[in-house]
Amino acid sequence: MYPEVFPRNAWYVAARSAEVGDGLLSRWILGDPVLLYRTEAGRPVAMVDRCIHRQMPLSLGRRKGDEIECGYHGLRYNTEGICTRVPGATAIPERVRVQVFPLYEEFGLVWIWPGQRDLADPGLIPDHHWYTDPGWATVSGTLHMNARAQLMNENLLDLSHLSFLHADSIGSPEVAEAPVAVRFDDRSVTVHREMPNSSCYPYLTRLTGIDEPIDRLQTAEFIAPSFGITTATSRPHADAGDARACRQKAMHGITPETRTSAHYFWSVSRDYAVDDDSATGYMAQALRTVILQDIAACEAIEHIIAAWEPSYPVELNIKVDAGPLQARRILERMIAAEQKMSDGDAPAWTGVSDAAARAAAQAWAKRNDSQSR
Amino acid sequence: MYPEVFPRNAWYVAARSAEVGDGLLSRWILGDPVLLYRTEAGRPVAMVDRCIHRQMPLSLGRRKGDEIECGYHGLRYNTEGICTRVPGATAIPERVRVQVFPLYEEFGLVWIWPGQRDLADPGLIPDHHWYTDPGWATVSGTLHMNARAQLMNENLLDLSHLSFLHADSIGSPEVAEAPVAVRFDDRSVTVHREMPNSSCYPYLTRLTGIDEPIDRLQTAEFIAPSFGITTATSRPHADAGDARACRQKAMHGITPETRTSAHYFWSVSRDYAVDDDSATGYMAQALRTVILQDIAACEAIEHIIAAWEPSYPVELNIKVDAGPLQARRILERMIAAEQKMSDGDAPAWTGVSDAAARAAAQAWAKRNDSQSR
Amino acid sequence: MYPEVFPRNAWYVAARSAEVGDGLLSRWILGDPVLLYRTEAGRPVAMVDRCIHRQMPLSLGRRKGDEIECGYHGLRYNTEGICTRVPGATAIPERVRVQVFPLYEEFGLVWIWPGQRDLADPGLIPDHHWYTDPGWATVSGTLHMNARAQLMNENLLDLSHLSFLHADSIGSPEVAEAPVAVRFDDRSVTVHREMPNSSCYPYLTRLTGIDEPIDRLQTAEFIAPSFGITTATSRPHADAGDARACRQKAMHGITPETRTSAHYFWSVSRDYAVDDDSATGYMAQALRTVILQDIAACEAIEHIIAAWEPSYPVELNIKVDAGPLQARRILERMIAAEQKMSDGDAPAWTGVSDAAARAAAQAWAKRNDSQSR
């Protein structure tokens, strides 16, 4: 039911910009170990976190300027992944290298393209400029979950769960009952609901003092393969104008780590009371709790699914699942297209796919091998 | 060697009555997640602990009177497992439901029938009335073991182990040497040994002060598929009458959790010094220790077996194994009969088998699916 | 790439002599549970740590003189593994037994031969007499690693890693750059490097006060299937004679526990300042740290390899790998020869291979089985 793999020819959030610095950050992404760091000039770099010599994670090595020296036998790689030094060796074919992943940094996020390098078009990255816009007050964080990414993507597309899982904060009974309008295209799904004259929810009251019926709009957007944006507007129903309208935009980078685990890069931004630090403090704590509730739900479900594998328990689809089901179809089409492109080879969950680097290393390995006999 | 599955058309202990109350108790039984709770009228209910919508454990939801509301998207189920509410939906076909398991509560135990509902005959439940009989002083508990259930069933049928594993409490050297009489029928095995003029064992001395040769009778009964009763009588050998005779009856509900783990519902009742609370306190502590020794042995063996899987290390059968071997044969016959009934499909370790619920859900899912396209 | 199994017809270190005493020591070796203890006369004994009756680990039982009594049902085994008592039984066929492994104790190590008994030739055990020679000051220990044994064997044959992994103790930059001379035969590989007028390394300075350029010789020897000896000589370059020459010999028994874990029995001996206890104390601490760094590297690599299984990530071989690659070839040849001997059956990772004991037990089991029906 859920996709077994994720498309590789796509952008995923690799990190929030603040996470990538001088140090060597190791993070598994789509089944690959990835080393992330920032050059002295400030450019983020991502390469396979695995020395081509004896599989040592490069993140356990050290920086030599912008280069990385393996902590085991000292092979050194530049920011292109090209091996620049093999201790005890003289000539090193330029082709000997580790795979480097295209990165694109914009508005506070570092995006990674795990697939074919020449297809990496930054134009495909969804807009999220408000994340670093001073006109918004933003809270954010990075979390991890032991559940497959798609469970969270679908959580975010079916916000009827607010009425139950988050009843004590951002939920009210009306959310689950409001009809939804679903729109979709090749790459995205949008689920919209309007709740005029609806009861106020605890989080809004705590944040703004509003404690009266509100008009509430909510849009959840899924941008394939694994990114979400949720937009919410709440306005006192009795107000004539927008003076007390509260807008909030949340961002959800759900990056598969392995088949059954994921990183969750999250942020929520508000455009009201932007300078109120106390409100921001409450918001950070309250929304982190909300996300931890979502993660707990996905992990509980993953535990159930695991017991049924390799088959999958029957599930019932209801009206609000129209959005999540469209998201699955988009993913299925993307994966099928990739498989066709690679002549039927499924994108592997593990194993780096840079065929050129692989072949070069094999060729050189063979040569060395015969020399050392 | 050991059965790979357990029969589903049979009664197993699901809980001690005291464990089932207002709260939502989650317990895996024969590979299924099961939710247990008690209605306001006091009737215990068991249903699959998994919402048919998106696999959320229902035990993470909440009660609405006697109904259960899923904590994720708010689907509600009555005590028959029938879905009574889908937020945002109007009509709900009655067939949409989660599987409910037949339960039978008697003398302090809640029994569950994981199989075909119409075969659930309470007359098959073994007698254990002394468990709640005030004429007996009873201690009891619930434990868990990381070992397949059958290891404990066989432990209980070969009490020669008392002389070694429990030498410091309920064992004496005579137990292992005494010849056994084995009787069996289609559903049960009884192993009986008599030890006239035998040395007293530490537990009896501590409990009664008796410290002289005794006549000891011991009967271990296995009632398929996974329940045991052990009865012991100890009487000073020198006594003419039964004035100081001590009778004890123990009950062992060994309910498979998964293929390699089990719940252990235990109790021991005595008919002497019934009002002596200090004796009861000692008994509770001493016998819990005995059972933890049994569990440790089974877990050590499970660890060995795991290293040999999928094959099984050769084992040597000796005289005292006559009982355990008969128990295996009864189980094999029960399983074969079930497999024949289901046209050769082995009862699955995981996966709920209520075919009707499954088909109904699939049908409805398909309909919703096509609507939401 | 790495061997999937290890030869069984070979000597492995089972324990340091000091580890084997009155107590019952359980240790898995090549996938078998092994019980180790010492007879009252002081002879070490190794038998499969698993009662032939119901798979109970014998190490959970107790000694009866030199015999072992199973802690479950009391079967007793002598030092030949022959069952001498079955409680409740009269005659016990002599063939009923658990497998006993040939052991050989010499110079502080207990060696085990997991294979065919009649091939166990102590002459094949590599010399390591200095381990207990009072002319040397020795430090030693036993460690465990969650990585396949061959990763450590290869670590020890490619000492270029000293310049990187152990730069703060026994490494200097020259090690990785020095050319190596590789020699090998059917059973061993030797990698030798000479580093005249080389920088001194922190460990030597701390131990001897030498803080000037040195001549350094280093020899790493692999003795199949899984034992290493590393010899090092350091001498001030300016010295005319050998007055300040420092020799060190290290021993590395890398005994596979399972396919992906190993025991590491290590020692390092020095022939200088032999009576300086403070130096010995520093040496013990510093070299344990060095070995823990090696183990951490191997475990990090094992983690990477695990993600690629069942395939194996491409690796690049460089000049210094000539030694490790020869070691692999020796192992491949040994394994192929064993497989040929056993008509193509691969030596199993789990499962005791003493065919005679197995058949005898099966025969008896069958007989008992039919009697008890």
Position C373 scores a pLDDT of 33
Domain boundary among B119, B147, B176: B119
C296 shares a domain with C263: yes
A268 touches chain C (CB under 8 A): no
Regarding whether A255 and A233 lie in a shared domain, the answer is yes
Strands A261-270 and A137-145, bridge-based pairing: antiparallel
Q: Report CA Rg, chain A.
A: 23
Using the 3D structure, point to which of B119, B135, B167 is the last residue of a domain: B119
Please say which residue of C119, C137, C157 terminates a domain.
C119
Instruction: Name the nearest CA neighbour of B65 among B41, B98, B35.
Output: B41
Residue B346 lies in a domain: no
Q: State whether residue A85 sits within 8 Å of chain C by CB.
A: no
Query: Which among A12, A84, A78 is positioned nearest to A45, based on CA atoms?
Result: A78
C281 plus C161 within the same structural domain = yes
Does the CB of C311 have a partner CB in chain A at under 8 Å? Answer: yes
Residue C90 lies in a domain: yes
| DSSP structural state of residue A171 | -
The CATH number of whichever domain residue C127 belongs to comes to 3.90.380.10
- Number of residue pairs across B and C with CB atoms under 8 Å? 105
Beta bridge partners of A26: A35
Question: Which of these, C103, C137, C86, C112, lies nearest to C30 by C-alpha position?
Answer: C112
User: C181 and C82 in one domain?
Assistant: no
Mark whether B92 and B200 lie in a shared domain.
no
C365 belongs to a structural domain:
no
- Cβ contacts of C209 within 8 Å, gap of 6 or more: none
- State how far the Cα of A39 lies from the Cα of A49, in Å rounded to an integer: 16
Residue C298 region by backbone torsions, left for phi larger than 0, else alpha for psi between -120 and 50, else beta: alpha
Q: Per-residue pLDDT tens for A190-248?
A: 999 999 999 999 999 999 999 999 999 999 999 999 999 999 999 999 999 999 999 99
φ, ψ for residue C122, nearest 5 deg: -60, -20
Cross-chain residue pair B160–C88, CB shorter than 8 Å: yes
Average pLDDT over residues C351-368: 48
Q: How far apart are CA A229 and CA A231, in angstroms?
A: 7
> How many angstroms separate the CA atoms of A265 and B357, rounded?
38
Residue C354 lies in a domain: no
Question: Is C210 domain-assigned?
Answer: yes
Asked whether residue C142 falls in the same domain as residue C16, the answer is no
Same domain, A66 and A159: no
Same domain, residue pair B164 and B282:
yes
Decide: C229 and C247 in contact? Cβ < 8 Å.
no
Contact A103, A80 (CB under 8 A): no
User: How far, CA to CA in Å, does B361 sit from each of A256, A296, B365?
Assistant: 30, 25, 6
Dmax over CA atoms of chain B, in Å, equals 86
In this structure, the answer to whether residues A101 and A204 fall within a common structural domain is no
Answer positive or negative: Cα dihedral of B67, B70, B75, B81: negative
Q: Are residues C183 and C324 in the same domain?
A: yes
What does each C-alpha distance from A320 to A159, A316, B97, B222 come to in angstroms? 9, 11, 18, 51
Query: What confidence category does residue C289 fall into, taking pLDDT thresholds of 50, 70 and 90?
Result: very high
Strands (E), chain B: 12-16, 25-29, 32-38, 44-48, 62-64, 67-69, 76-77, 83-85, 103-106, 109-112, 137-145, 181-184, 188-198, 214-223, 227-236, 246-258, 261-270
Residues C324, C301: Cα–Cα separation, whole Å = 16
Alpha carbons C258 and C97: distance in angstroms, whole number? 24
Domain span at C52: 12-119
CA distance A87 to A67: 15
Asked if residue C127 belongs to a domain, the reply is: yes
Strand stretches in chain C, DSSP E: 12-16, 25-29, 32-38, 44-48, 62-64, 67-69, 76-77, 83-85, 103-106, 109-112, 137-145, 181-184, 188-198, 214-223, 227-236, 246-258, 261-270
Closest to C350 (Cβ–Cβ): which among B160, B177, B307? B307
* Contact status of C183 with chain A (Cβ, < 8 Å): no
Is A347 a residue whose pLDDT tops 50? Answer: no
DSSP single-letter state for residue C97? B
Please state the φ and ψ torsions of residue B364, each to the nearest 5 degrees: -65, -40
Write the residue in C177, C182, C305 that is nearest to A88 by C-beta: C177
Is A182 part of a structural domain of the chain? yes
Contact flag C161-A50 (C-beta cutoff 8 Å) = no
φ, ψ for residue C285 (rounded to 5)? Answer: -70, -45
Question: Which chain A residue shows the shortest CA-CA distance from B53?
Answer: A316
Kindly report the CATH number assigned to the domain that includes residue C24: 2.102.10.10
Structural domain total, chain A: 2
Of B177, B314, B315, which is closest to C88 when you measure between CB atoms?
B177
pLDDT of chain B along its 373 residues, tens only? Answer: 788 899 999 999 999 999 999 999 999 999 999 999 999 999 999 999 999 999 999 999 999 999 999 999 999 999 999 999 999 887 887 778 999 999 999 999 999 999 999 999 999 999 999 999 999 999 999 999 999 999 999 999 999 999 999 999 999 999 999 999 999 999 999 999 999 999 999 999 999 999 999 999 999 999 999 999 999 999 999 999 999 999 999 999 999 999 999 999 999 999 999 999 999 999 999 999 999 999 999 999 999 998 888 888 888 899 889 999 999 999 999 999 998 887 655 444 433 444 445 555 555 545 444 443 3
CB-count exposure of residue C285 (10 Å: 0-12, 13-18, 19+): exposed
| CA distance linking residue C111 with residue C253, whole number of Å | 10
Q: How far apart are CA B214 and CA C173, in angstroms?
A: 79
List the subunits that have 3+ CB pairs under 8 angstroms with C.
Answer: A, B
Question: Residue C266 pairs with which residues in a beta bridge?
Answer: C141, C252
**Strand order across the beta sheet in which C109-112 lies:** C12-16, C109-112, C103-106
Q: Are residues B143 and B29 in the same domain?
A: no
| Claim to verify: residue B88 and residue B149 sit in the same structural domain | no
- Closest residue to B300, CB basis, from C31, C60, C74: C60
Residues of B in contact with A177 (CB under 8 A): 87-88
Q: Which residues of C touch A368 (CB under 8 A)?
A: 316-319, 321
Q: Is residue C306 part of a domain?
A: yes
Helix H or strand E encompassing A221? strand A214-223
Distance CA A228, CA A155 (A): 10
How far, in Å, CA of B160 to CA of B175, rounded? 5
* pLDDT, position C343: 63
Beta carbons of B56 and A154 less than 8 Å apart = no
Residues A178/B88, Cβ–Cβ less than 8 Å: yes
